[in-house]
Structure 1
Amino acid sequence: MDLVIIIPAYNEEKFIKNCLDSLLNQTHAAKKILVVDDGSSDNTPNIVHNLSHSYENLSLISRQKSFSHEPGSKIVDAFNFGLKNLRVDYDVICKFDADLIFPEDYLKVLTEAFQENSKLGMYGGFCTLWKDGAWQVEQLTNADHLRGALKAYRLECFEDIKGLTPAMGWDTIDEMKARFQGWEVHTNPDLQVRHLKPTGQQYKKNLPGVFGASLFRMRYSWSLALLTCLKMAKNKSSLSFFLESMTSFMRSNPKKNTFLVTEQEGAFIRTYRWSKLKERLF
C-alpha cells in the first residue's frame, strides 16, 4: 500500500527539519513526501531543499504567499496546490502539519490499519503538547475527531468527499462527508505525535467570528451551535470566545455566507452531533 504525504509550510524553519527527520526515518517509508512552501520569508525552503538531496522521496515545491488569512482556507489552498503537482500513484494520502514530530512506527501503524479494514476511510493519532513537564494530549476536541494537523485518507474516500474544503471547519467537514458516504473514521490513542506549536495561535484575533460563521455554513441548528460554542469557549477558558462566536453565528445568513455542505449532509451532521451528545450524557 503506497502512502504519500503533503506538508503545507509557511515560516516553519524552527520545526520543519525535526518534522521531516521523523518522517524520513520511519519503519515504513512514505512513497513521496511533498513540502509546499507557501511563500515563506524565512529559511524554510532552503532547509527542505538541502535535505531533499539526501532523500529521493522528499520534494519541495513553492508558490507565492497565499493572500488568504482565514483559518482553514490558507492551509487547504497550499495542500491543494501540492495535490495538483503530485506526480505519483498512491493508496493513502496524508495532510500533515510542519510542526509535528512523529513516532518512528506511525506510518507503519497507519498503513496496517487501512490494510486490515477496507471500510476505513480516515485514520490517525493524537497531537500532544509539552505541558507541566510532560507531553500531554491536546484537549481541544472529542476523542473521535481526527485533528487537522495529521489527517490520512484512503484514496477512494478522498475522492468520495471531493477533497478538502478551503474554509474554516474543513477538518470537521471531511469527516462528516466521509461518514455520510459510508466510510469509517477512527483515531488511535496509542499513536501520539508531538505538536511543537499550539494550534491556531496565529488566528487568535479573528478566530471566534470565523468559527461561529463556519457553524452556520455547516448548517448547525441554533441549539447545536450554542452547545458547540460553549464547549469551545470552555476549552479555551474564554467567555468572550463564546459571545463573539455565537454573535457571529446569529448574524450569518445564506445571502452572505455560502453553505459548505448540502442539505442532506447538513441533516446528517446535525443528527450525528446530537447522537454523540446523547452518548456522552447517558
Structure 2
Amino acid sequence: MSGCDLKPSQPPSILVISPVRDEARFIEAAIDSLSAQTIRPTAWVIVNDGSSDDTAAIARSRAAETDFIHVVDKPDRGHRQVGSGVIEAFNYGLAAAPVSDWDFIVKLDADITYGPRYIERMLAEFAADEKLAAVSGRVYRPEPGGDVEERKSPDMVCGPFKFYRRAAFEAIGGFEQTLQWDGIDIHRARMTGWRTRNISDPDARIHHHRLMGSSQVSIVHGRLRWGRGIHFMGYHPAYAVASGVYRMRDWPYVVGGLLIIAGYFSAAARGAERYPDPAFRADLRRWQRRQLAGLPRALLRAGLRRGSKRRGP
C-alpha cells in the first residue's frame, strides 16, 4: 500500500522517527508533547544513535507505558555527526519501523516541545492543499533576552519537525544522507512541483530548546558551519551574502551573520566540495536570482505597510 492522502473513513497513518544522541535533558518533555497530541502517531521510532547519557533508558521507560513508542539502538559511530549522521540514523529507524503503510512521515527532534493540537493543525493544512508536500509551524528559540520567533521564508519547513506527505517524500527520494539535507529537500520539492510552507498559528508553535545553528561546539562554530553548508548546497554568492545580512538580526547580533558569510566564502576560496548534482545547483541559483530580483519590490511593500500602520486608518 502506498497511501499518501487523508482517508475519510479512517485516521491517517503517521510514522514519526527521532534520531537521538545524548538528549537526556530534553527527551522527557519531547515525549510528553507527542503523547499529549489530539491526534497521535501510529508509531514513533526513537533511534538511540550512540547516546552515552540516560537518553535510551528514559525512552525505554516511557515506551513501556506508551503503546506507540518503539526504541531501537543504532551501532555507535563514536561521535555526533550533524547532517549526514542524522539522516543515517533516520533511515535506520525507517528500516526498523513497525508500520510500512504510513500516509505521512515525520522527522522529529528530541529537543522541541509544542501544543496538543500541533499534528491536528498540520493535517488540516494537508487536507486543504493536495500539492502540499511538507508543512510545519514556526519555531521559537532561546536567546539571551528570552524566546524569539525564528525568522524563515514562508516556504521553509522547520528542520526539527519535518512533516511530509508520503507521495511527496517519495517524489524527492526521501532525505539525502548528506550535509545540508534540510534545505536540499525543500528545493527538490519545488523542482518536482510540490509546495512547502510554515504557518503562523498559536496551536502550531514549536519551542526549540537549543539556539539554532549553535552546534554542539559553540555558536561561532555553528555559524561558520552554516556558511560552509550553504556553499556545499550551491548557494549563489549574492544570495549567501543576503542570507548572512538577514541573520545579523539574530543572536549573536551582526557577528553571527558575518560568520555565515565568512564560512561561505572561506569554503569557496579553498574549493570545498559541492553537492554533486549540477542540475540541482543550477536550478537553485536560478530560483535564488529570481528571489533577489524581487527583493526591492518586497522591501518597498513592507515599508508601505509599516507606514500605513503608523498613519492609522
TM-score (norm 1): 0.89
- Report if the CA contact (8 A) 1:168-1:211 is conserved: no
Q: Distance in 2 between matches of 1:217 and 1:242?
A: 13
Residue 105 of structure 2 aligns with an amino acid whose one-letter code is I
Counterpart of 1:162?
Answer: 173
Counterpart of 1:99?
Answer: 111
Q: Look up the SS of the partner of 1:189 in the other structure.
A: coil
Counterpart of 2:72?
Answer: 61
Q: 2:289 aligns with which of 253, 274, 278?
A: 274
Q: How does 1:121-270 map to 2 (within 5 A)?
A: 121-131=133-143, 135-139=147-151, 141-190=152-201, 191-201=204-214, 202-204=216-218, 206-208=221-223, 210-232=225-247, 235=250, 236=252, 237-238=254-255, 239-252=258-271, 257-260=273-276, 262-270=277-285
Q: Look up the SS of the partner of 2:16 in the other structure.
A: strand
Instruction: Tell which deviates more after alignment, 117-126 or 64-73.
Output: 64-73
Residue 2 of structure 1 aligns with an amino acid whose one-letter code is S
How far the C-alpha of 1:36 sits from its partner, in A, is 0.7
* Greater strand content: 1
Q: Look up the SS of the partner of 2:266 in the other structure.
A: helix
Q: Look up the SS of the partner of 1:123 in the other structure.
A: strand
Residue 283 of structure 2 aligns with an amino acid whose one-letter code is F
Q: Distance in 2 between matches of 1:125 and 1:67?
A: 33
Number of aligned residues: 277
* Compared CA separation, residues 187 and 244, structure 1 to 2 (3 A): closer
How far the C-alpha of 1:158 sits from its partner, in A, is 0.8
Q: Distance in 2 between matches of 1:276 and 1:207?
A: 26
How far the C-alpha of 1:209 sits from its partner, in A, is 5.0
Q: Does 1:113 align with 2:86?
A: no
Residue 275 of structure 2 aligns with an amino acid whose one-letter code is F
How far the C-alpha of 1:144 sits from its partner, in A, is 2.8
Q: Distance in 1 between matches of 2:26 and 2:110?
A: 7
Q: Look up the SS of the partner of 1:145 in the other structure.
A: coil
- Report if the CA contact (8 A) 1:9-1:38 is conserved: yes
Q: Distance in 2 between matches of 1:184 and 1:244?
A: 30
- Report if the CA contact (8 A) 2:50-2:78 is conserved: no
Instruction: Tell which deviates more after alignment, 232-241 or 244-253.
Output: 232-241
Residue 193 of structure 2 aligns with an amino acid whose one-letter code is G
* Compared CA separation, residues 99 and 208, structure 1 to 2 (3 A): closer
How far the C-alpha of 1:150 sits from its partner, in A, is 1.1
| Alignment gaps of 5+ in structure 1 | none
Counterpart of 2:91?
Answer: 80
Deviations 1:37-71 (A, max 9, x none): 11111111111101111111111011123356553
Counterpart of 2:48?
Answer: 37
Counterpart of 2:301?
Answer: none
Larger Rg belongs to: 2
Q: Look up the SS of the partner of 1:114 in the other structure.
A: helix
Deviations 1:82-135 (A, max 9, x none): 111113121110011101112100011112221222111011111112457754
- Report if the CA contact (8 A) 1:164-1:170 is conserved: yes
* Compared CA separation, residues 130 and 244, structure 1 to 2 (3 A): closer
- Cα RMSD, aligned residues only: 2.3
Q: Distance in 2 between matches of 1:174 and 1:200?
A: 18
How far the C-alpha of 1:174 sits from its partner, in A, is 0.3
Residue 196 of structure 1 aligns with an amino acid whose one-letter code is H
Q: Distance in 1 between matches of 2:91 and 2:69?
A: 18
Q: Look up the SS of the partner of 2:229 in the other structure.
A: helix
Deviations 1:166-189 (A, max 9, x none): 233211100000010000101111
How far the C-alpha of 1:208 sits from its partner, in A, is 4.9
Q: Distance in 2 between matches of 1:133 and 1:230?
A: 21
* Compared CA separation, residues 78 and 158, structure 1 to 2 (3 A): same
- Report if the CA contact (8 A) 1:210-1:248 is conserved: no
